[in-house]
Amino acid sequence: MKTSPEKSRPEVWAAVLGYNNVEDTIECLTSLEAATYTNLKTLYVDNGSEPGTCEKVMEAVPGCGVLRLQPNAGVAGGLNAGITHAIAQGADYVIILNNDTTVDPAFADHLVEAACADSKIGMLVPKIYYYDHPDTVWSAGSVFRRFPPVVYMRKTRGPDDGRYDTPQDVDFATFCVIMLSRPMIEQAGLLDPDYHFLYEDYDLCIRAREAGFRIRYVPQAHVKHKISKTTGAGTPNPKFWRTYGRSESIFRRKFRHHRWLTGWTHALYIVLRFIYEGNWYGVRPYIEGWRQGARDDIHQAPRLDDAHVARGDVLRAP
């Protein structure tokens, strides 16, 4: 008996994490509905949104599955619920997306093609453009700079000039959109919910590389990002900078062997950069958060079979 081309292709699930912002969620899911990859299933993970959000999404995008979490499980917890559900249903790869993104129709085809080239590719990173400036690159993967010590995203200040058109391995990746392989998840574990948000992506990147997996940048896969509409990144929002400091402090404690990336040198660099740029509003909450992260309990990152991973209620299968 012959196997159809669709059945022979890897099964990919796209898990969209949403918290309110229903219009963004619908636009993201609608863009996924137009994807040309034929073995793609879409799951909306509602992360404790206001009443009525799920109903609006289900009415507007009838083809997607819906997993409802109540209460909000945090970014890592919400994504873990989507990943765990997708793997349990047979996914070979899971694409996790923020709900403030939209995708090019062929993006999954390019990611899967690159993934199939080498089983040791555990993460696949698309080229991500600004939503409001769709010719400017917001992220082409992230790399570590030793001094001043920081992980920085490769991007362009103006229109895409082709400098990031070559596929290559990178050190880190932002998780606003990324594709994860099942073997990598099984060996390296899930996202770490000790971070409410921020640094859970770099944490898993390190664990994936330590488990022997590569992070591959795929420039042919295109995505647009509306840039942190929920967290308030880049604004005077003290909650963001407090969380930034806390997450960074927890990251430091978990990866002390990466001292140039996580130690006092890096924290001092961040504070000095705040002062140099005149962003005094970020200094106090950042330091408060950093001290909080030094006191909070830390735990091992969960595995797929961890009983503490949020499961949620399946309101509709894809």
Residues 157-203: pLDDT tens digits? 999 999 999 999 999 999 999 999 999 999 999 999 999 888 899 99
Looking at the structure, tell me whether residues 171 and 218 fall in a common domain: yes
Q: Which tens digit of pLDDT belongs to each residue from 196-249?
A: 888 899 999 999 999 999 999 999 999 999 986 554 455 678 888 899 889 989
Tokens 């001043």, residue located: 148
Quick one: pLDDT at residue 292? 96
Looking at the structure, tell me whether residues 158 and 208 fall in a common domain: yes
User: Which structural domain, as residue segments, surrounds residue 127?
Assistant: 5-228
Question: Mean pLDDT, to the nearest integer, of 250-266?
Answer: 74
Looking at the structure, tell me whether residues 79 and 135 fall in a common domain: yes
Collect all residues with Cβ–Cβ distance below 8 Å to 151 and sequence separation of at least 6. 142, 143, 144, 145, 171, 172, 202, 261
Looking at the structure, tell me whether residues 82 and 144 fall in a common domain: yes
Looking at the structure, tell me whether residues 221 and 254 fall in a common domain: no
Looking at the structure, tell me whether residues 28 and 134 fall in a common domain: yes
SS3 (DSSP) at 245: helix
Question: Mean pLDDT, to the nearest integer, of 246-273?
Answer: 77
Looking at the structure, tell me whether residues 280 and 154 fall in a common domain: no
Question: How far, in Å, CA of 13 to CA of 2, rounded?
Answer: 24
Which phi-psi region, left, alpha or beta, contains residue 238 (left: φ > 0; alpha: ψ -120 to 50)? alpha
Quick one: pLDDT at residue 235? 65
Quick one: pLDDT at residue 227? 81
Q: Which tens digit of pLDDT belongs to each residue from 115-146?
A: 999 999 999 999 999 999 999 999 999 988 77
Domain assignment present for residue 21? The answer is: yes
Domain assignment present for residue 308? The answer is: no
The pLDDT confidence band at residue 148, using thresholds 50, 70 and 90, is: low
* pTM of model > 0.75: yes
Quick one: pLDDT at residue 262? 57
- Token pair, residue 246, equals 């806390």
Quick one: pLDDT at residue 2? 39
Count how many domains the chain has. Answer: 2
Share of the chain above pLDDT 70, in %: 92
- Is pLDDT at 83 greater than 90 in this prediction? yes
